[in-house]
Amino acid sequence: MTSLHTTRVRRRRLGVAAAAAGLIATLLTAGPAAATPDPGDTPATSSGVSVSQKAEATAAIKSGEIPGVDEIVHSDNITHLANVPKDALKGTNSDLVFQGKYAFSGNYDGFRIFDISNPKRPRTVAQVLCPGSQNDISVSGDLLFLSTDSSRSDNSCASTTQPATEKTSWEGMKVFDISDKRNPKYVAAVETACGSHTHTIIPERKNIYVYVSSYSPNETFPDCQPPHDGISVIKVPRSAPEEARIVNFPVLFPDGGNPGAPANPGVSKTTGCHDITVLPSKDLAAGACMGDGLLFSIEDPENPKIIDRVQDNVNFAFWHSATFNQGADKVVFTDELGGGGAATCNDEVGPKRGADGIYDIIGRGDHRKLVFRSYFKIDRPQADTEVCVAHNGSIIPVKGRDLMVQAWYQGGVSVWDFTNSSKPKEIAFFERGPVSTEAVTTAGPWSAYYYNGYIYSNDIAKGFDVLRLDDRRTDPAKKVRMQELNVQTQPDYFDR
């Protein structure tokens, strides 16, 4: 029986950080000159708290209700194998992707490549300095894709911040050649309207399609004008990535999308999409688009077609990301309440906001509908100084079960079961205590993904973590081996 120390009994120390050995950082500049990261490329990391909030956090630690500052706790079925702190790239850690024995870690200052052939001792292969938040990352074959969603002076890795009100400013997609993992080469760039907050690739034999998600247009921004009601579609020839170009900008919200406040108080107005997950084996995609959730067909990747659209104007503030189950009859949407900068895992916010929304997909073809079933949110208490909200996760591939591992910022890593859409439950967890009891601090896992038998987590502040999950419910997944994993390009794990 697995013991989950999820309430006040978590006083005993259940884990110790393991230092990864043999780190030799190779700092590469992927542009004509070295660049110094600008403060404007990283989000605000902390804000003050009241005397009472500080006192409450201190008391919760003392009573054992929450772990101590930076203390590691986890369920008995989780083992913490390794932690690799930040090195040359000091910015915010963001997303993760995988290829063979390598993990690629996005960072607001660039990206880092790890050799994970021994998960207990990840080794740094390269660190590429290329500032431009948030550096969302994907790989396919010899190509790596990087999103720039901060206004830059040009498209090089030596760029500096520049106001979006200036016509010469640049935001968009960068493409690298990673055939030599120790020496990635910057080969192409494509400017996109409103930049690229995230992106999703659809890999084909000759071409790679890139769906670029961005939002928040402004009449004062020459390259980001309202209405911004769609996504940019980029076509990248594998044999000539320098010829990458935009081939379409499909309108996803012809009616303008969710109007937000005042019609729907507390809900984000839809002015684009935050993130899209595709399931190429089923020609399906799910879009998390600020105030709306989408289901659409990608049978023609250059011309995606909307199948269904849903809103939750009671409990969802910002539709952030999406995950299909393996059977493609469910979608988990996440709500990034507070924009990833607020403490939302507490009694005041409650169990239905800043959570996951589980939707069943009912019907066939173009008549399929998204039907809400339930919410899932971690019930382990978090201090009011801990930024905590539903964030990026992936399926754990087990036939007959719907299992997911997910990042919750300072709520840590959660493994949960949504086989019964109406009764999701947590089955494992890993987390650190507050980074601080003095201020509300952005930290904790940005992404937590299952790859070839292990959970890999990119902690915003603490670096790269490796976890092993040993549980009869998840152990069959250890037999599933992937050569490449971009979580937002969701694979069919059992029909390859």
Q: Residue 286 corresponds to which amino acid?
A: A
Q: What's the pLDDT band for 48 if we cut at 50, 70, 90?
A: confident
Can you give the pLDDT at residue 43?
A: 54
- Could you tell me the two tokens for 117? 């052939």
Distance CA 230, CA 238 (A): 25
Q: What's the pLDDT band for 23 if we cut at 50, 70, 90?
A: very low
Q: Is the pLDDT of residue 4 over 50?
A: no
Residues near 209 by Cβ (< 8 Å), separated by ≥ 6? Answer: 201, 202, 233, 234, 235, 236, 301, 302
Q: What is the DSSP letter of 23?
A: -
Can you give the pLDDT at residue 28?
A: 58
116 and 131 Cβ atoms separated by less than 8 Å:
no
Q: What is the DSSP letter of 205?
A: S
Q: Tell me the pairing of strands 305-310 and 292-297.
A: antiparallel
Can you give the pLDDT at residue 13?
A: 27
Distance CA 206, CA 208 (A): 7
Instruction: Give the rounded percent of residues in the chain with a pLDDT score beyond 70.
Output: 91
151 and 138 Cβ atoms separated by less than 8 Å:
no
Helix (H, G, I), strand (E, B) or coil at 242: helix
| Residue range 367-392, pLDDT digits in tens | 999 999 999 999 999 999 999 999 99
- Could you tell me the two tokens for 418? 């949504």
Q: What's the pLDDT band for 39 if we cut at 50, 70, 90?
A: very low
Can you give the pLDDT at residue 54?
A: 86
Q: What is the DSSP letter of 380?
A: S
Distance CA 195, CA 192 (A): 5
Can you give the pLDDT at residue 32?
A: 29
Distance CA 70, CA 61 (A): 11
In sign, the C-alpha dihedral spanning 169, 171, 173, 175 is: positive
| Residue range 323-359, pLDDT digits in tens | 999 999 999 999 999 999 999 999 999 999 999 999 9
Which of 159, 108, 161, 157 minimizes the C-alpha distance to 135? 108
φ and ψ of 200, to 5 deg: -140, 135
The residue-averaged pLDDT of 73-78 equals 98
Q: Is the pLDDT of residue 212 over 70?
A: yes
Distance CA 376, CA 479 (A): 28
Q: Is the pLDDT of residue 10 over 50?
A: no
Element (H, E) at 124: strand 123-129
The per-residue pLDDT of the chain, averaged, comes to 91
φ and ψ of 37, to 5 deg: -55, 140
Which of 105, 91, 67 minimizes the C-alpha distance to 447? 105
Distance CA 228, CA 124 (A): 39
Distance CA 46, CA 436 (A): 9
| Residue range 100-112, pLDDT digits in tens | 999 999 999 999 9
Q: What's the pLDDT band for 27 if we cut at 50, 70, 90?
A: low
Can you give the pLDDT at residue 21?
A: 29
Sequence-ordered strand ranges (E) for 273-318: 275-279, 284-289, 292-297, 305-310
Distance CA 5, CA 344 (A): 20
